[in-house]
């Protein structure tokens, strides 16, 4: 059901914890699926010098949080903004259809932290004020419909 990479990032998550000196913090979650992700970043000169996460959720939520932090660590803010849930899934060698929403939450947590950084520093990153909130319930419904075709 899960790839070796998913299992590795679940059993040995990278970048777990809280950054005390974080200048960017993002939290996303949904009560429907129960996953909550909080991302902490230390950004210096436009580069993500350090990143950590705390996730409450299933194994896939932990694995996607871990992989997302690995994918943005050491990258520029602009590169991190381009991180997609698809890139997270590909880096993990895929996710079961019912767990794709975890990769979307990981992407949104990264974007939420970058939005926080933008607001704190006044640097316009082109993130709108009203990011669309992800609804796990509708995603599961859509996924279930897609699986029947």
So which residues are the catalytic ones?
33, 102
Q: Which helix (H) or strand (E) holds 31?
A: none
Q: Which helix (H) or strand (E) holds 26?
A: strand 24-29
Q: CA of 87: how far to CAs of 57, 64, 65, 68, 80, in Å? A: 20, 10, 12, 9, 11
Q: How far apart are CA 17 and CA 77, in angstroms?
A: 21
Q: CA of 52: how far to CAs of 16, 20, 61, 146, in Å? A: 5, 10, 14, 34
18-66-41-123 Cα dihedral, nearest 10 degrees: -150
Residue 29 bridge partners (DSSP) = 36
């Amino acid at each position: 059901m899960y790839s070796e990479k998913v299992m590795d990032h679940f059993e040995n998550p990278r970048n777990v914890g809280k950054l005390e000196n974080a200048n960017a913090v993002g939290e996303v979650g949904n009560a429907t699926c129960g996953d909550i992700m909080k991302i902490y970043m230390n950004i210096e000169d436009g580069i993500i010098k350090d990143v950590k996460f705390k996730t409450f959720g299933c194994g896939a939520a932990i694995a996607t949080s871990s992989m997302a932090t690995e994918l943005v660590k050491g990258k520029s803010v602009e590169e991190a903004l381009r991180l997609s849930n698809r890139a997270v899934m590909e880096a993990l060698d895929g996710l079961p259809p019912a767990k794709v929403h975890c990769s979307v939450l990981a992407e949104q947590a990264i974007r939420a932290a970058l939005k926080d950084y933008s607001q704190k520093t006044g640097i316009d990153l082109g993130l709108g004020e009203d990011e669309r909130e992800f609804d796990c319930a509708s995603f599961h419904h859509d996924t279930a419909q897609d699986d029947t075709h």
